[in-house]
Chain A
Amino acid sequence: MSILYDERPFHTRVKDVMDNQFKVKAIQKAQDVFYTKRKALVEQVPAWEEFRTEAAALRDHTLRNLDYYLNMFAENAEKAGAHVFFANSDKEATDYALEVLRQKEAKMIVKSKSLLTEEISLNEELIKAGINVNETDLAEFILQTDDWNPPSHIVVPALHLERSKIREVFHDKLGYEGTENPEEMTRFVRKFIRKRFLTANVGFTGCNFGVAETGSITIVSNEGNGRMSSSIPRTQIAVMGMERLVPDLASLDVMMELLVRSSVGAKISNYFSLITGPAKPGEADGPEDLHIIIVNNGRTNVLGGEFNSMLRCIHCGACMNICPVYRHITGHAYGSIYPGPMGAVLTPLLVGYEKAGALPYASTLCGECWEHCPVKIPIHELLLKHRENIAEHTNVRPAIEKPIFKTAATMFANSFLYDMGTKAAAVGMKAVAKDDAMPEWMKVLPVAGGWIKSKDMGTMKLHKFRDVYAKYEKNKKKGTF
């Protein structure tokens, strides 16, 4: 998958999703479960706010000194026996991976969950080169089996699929004959994937955090497939975003306290792997050969700029678990592998306003994502910055918008013009009103029509507050009120 998997207009994508209330209800149910679990856990940590502040400061410190920590990380990783490659672009990253596969004569690979591999279109490139690709995260496996159904969430990508649909996919594609019981289906997949683990020569993994002090990479997972991908195949290729570093193990601890709680509302994940170099002689587990690809792919354009704080992101998904907009349009309306509030900020940074300029408007700027973000990214402020850039410097918005806003702004900055304009509007509204509300036929009108289609709209008053108050003040002075 590339960053954008659906390039139809935003409103078309929204309509598609909202017409499928099955999908929307599944997301809402999941959001409610996450909300309750996270809330209970966070309430058990009295220092939660201090943790967030510390984590944000840690991320900022790392970003400010990123060159220093990247060097330290690479040095220590190489000292531990890993190969480190800096990929400036997605293509450089996939080319390097393909070269390793060629050297290892690998025809089949297993892969644990990694958003970054989606971002750089790794699967497409491998498949093009004739490699047999196997996603091993259960949700990713479901999506792959369902002909690469796009992800709707960064942590739980198959959130939009009901178990009946999953059973159908397994039945049609893999000949599964069992029930739609989740345990039974999981057992089936486990057996299926186990064979892949045992035959693949190379395992791909992502990396939640790189530890500069030790040159270690980390994988946080709930299914154990991350550990299998990194320990059974003889070669492991880990792909890491260049911003995903922590200075040392102590700071890793802070990030882990926040990551899992924010992500799925659990204290710890089922699995947590800290991998420092390949297996040493005599060690039973681990790959013989470990390659770490550090990917830039546009991140240095963001670093140090007005969107710098977005690079604090640890991809926990808390913002989409709480977002009231995501709740009604799911990840699919964003059309990006990075959906929800973080995606609405990040996607335009990675693919540009021409392609993703509608996303910053898919928010009420309510700030709930910021409140839930473990590293305190002011997402609502960044979305507003995007809107400013788009309005001032692009032609992405409809041409009519700017003059409308300019005219309205002149009127709303001058009490005389405002008074004249609103008086005329009030007279007009009163003339068409039915039972003191705008009639439903007005839903065909531009601007106000969208509101009137689903909500009543009252009339503007002929005597505004300023008129009523002026009379009140006059009477009060006369002592008659």
Chain B
Amino acid sequence: MKVHFFTQCLIDMFYPHVGMAGVQVLEHLGCDVVVPKKQVCCGQMFSNSGYAATAKDAMKNTIECFEDADYVVSMSGSCAFAMKDEYKDILKDEPAWLARANNLSAKIYEFTEFIVDVLGVTDVGATFNDSVTYHTSCHVTRLLGIKEQPFKLLTNIRGLDYRKLDRMDRCCGFGGTFSIKNPDISAAMTKEKALNIAATGANVVAGADQACLMSIEGMLDRLYKTGEIDRRIKVMHIAELLNCR
């Protein structure tokens, strides 16, 4: 099965190994992965700040990259939501582009959703011998309605000691440019999330949206330095866990 891969710019810039893990998991499951070279950003960071018109070029570029795809798999839930839902709205006054946006919307899948719902796989044959807790990102859970899929995958990882995170579905505080525009509020939210993660006793926290994970990682590292948490907690994208054999 041919699968086009949407990396997400944060993974591209800051976390190349996460992108590679995603590619390798899909290949391991028999997919023929295509990574369009022209892809950059889905445009959501502009549209979520109210600059919908400004975001159009990035959106059109993304649409063009995936025109020939049968399936598009996004490593980020919030970008997947933008492509699935927001493009149609923002491009509604340009009929030709609206049709192309609808075309993309119909074939875009979030990473865990694709593996469970399209490939029909819940056990990817991974092994990971450590304690793991999980943050369910808002766009994945609430806006895309993907609630069970990550857990179906997690529970089948051999050796994984799952620790439930209190209020796992509460926002981590990232919120795109919110973290820049309201850094103090964002930090207070992320700190509460980080302390809840620490309280699970897990050594690893995972998720399916690298933006949330970046914010959480930055806070966990800082709190470890200041002594507010007692250990280094590793932050991993679920693709990395699924790629451990």
Q: Is the CB of A413 within 8 A of B60?
A: yes
Q: Is the CB of A409 within 8 A of B183?
A: no
Chain A: which residue is nearest B57 at the CB level? A413
Q: Is the CB of A456 within 8 A of B218?
A: yes
Q: Is the CB of B183 within 8 A of A371?
A: no
Task: Tell me the A residues contacting B by CB distance below 8 Å.
Answer: 14-15, 18, 324-325, 327-329, 361-368, 370-371, 384, 386-392, 401-402, 405-406, 408-410, 412-415, 418, 422, 426, 437, 447-451, 453-461, 463-470, 472-473
Chain A: which residue is nearest B62 at the CB level? A413
Known: A328-B189, A460-B14, A465-B19. A437 touches B221 (CB 8 A): yes
Pick from B37, B54, B186, B215: contact of A466, CB under 8 Å = B37
Q: How far is the CB of A262 from chain B (nearest CB, A)?
A: 17
Q: How far is the CA of A120 from the CA of B174 in the complex (A)?
A: 37
| In the complex, chain B residues 171-196 whose Cβ is within 8 Å of any chain A Cβ | 171, 173-176, 178-192
Q: How far is the CB of B76 from chain A (nearest CB, A)?
A: 12
Which residues of chain B come closer than 8 Å to A468, judged between CB atoms? 16-17, 19-20
Which residues of chain A come closer than 8 Å to B112, judged between CB atoms? none
Q: How far is the CB of A307 from chain B (nearest CB, A)?
A: 15
Which residues of chain A come closer than 8 Å to B221, judged between CB atoms? 437, 455-456
How many B residues touch the partner, as a band?
35 or more
Chain A: which residue is nearest B167 at the CB level? A35
Q: Is the CB of A418 within 8 A of B40?
A: yes
Stretch at the interface among B4-12, B98-106, B122-130, B155-163: B4-12
Q: Is the CB of A450 within 8 A of B58?
A: no
Instruction: Please report whether the interface of chain A is mostly helix, strand, loop or mixed according to DSSP.
Output: helix
Which residues of chain B come closer than 8 Å to A327, judged between CB atoms? 189
Q: How far is the CB of B119 from chain A (nearest CB, A)?
A: 21
Q: Is the CB of B35 within 8 A of A409?
A: no
Q: Is the CB of B184 within 8 A of A450?
A: yes
Provide a sorted-by-A list of 17 A–B residue pairs whose CB atoms are within 8 angstroms. Answer: A324-B171, A361-B178, A361-B182, A362-B185, A363-B175, A363-B178, A364-B171, A365-B176, A368-B169, A412-B45, A415-B39, A455-B190, A456-B219, A456-B221, A465-B20, A468-B16, A473-B35
Which residues of chain A come closer than 8 Å to B41, judged between CB atoms? 412-413, 418
Which residues of chain B come closer than 8 Å to A412, judged between CB atoms? 9, 40-41, 43, 45-46, 58
Q: Is the CB of B23 within 8 A of A451?
A: no
Q: How far is the CA of A367 from the CA of B138 in the complex (A)?
A: 7
Known: A364-B171, A406-B54, A415-B37. A458 touches B217 (CB 8 A): yes
Known pairs A325-B189, A458-B217, A461-B14; list 19 more (Cβ under 8 Å). A14-B182, A329-B185, A364-B138, A365-B175, A366-B170, A392-B52, A408-B46, A412-B43, A413-B40, A413-B57, A414-B40, A450-B183, A453-B183, A454-B184, A454-B191, A460-B14, A464-B12, A465-B20, A467-B16
Q: Is the CB of B182 within 8 A of A461?
A: no
Q: How far is the CA of A329 from the CA of B178 in the complex (A)?
A: 14
Pick from B9, B50, B54, B143 the residue with the most CB of A within 10 Å: B50
Chain B: which residue is nearest A416 at the CB level? B38
Q: Is B202 an interface residue (CB 8 A)?
A: no
Pick from B40, B45, B181: contact of A415, CB under 8 Å = B40
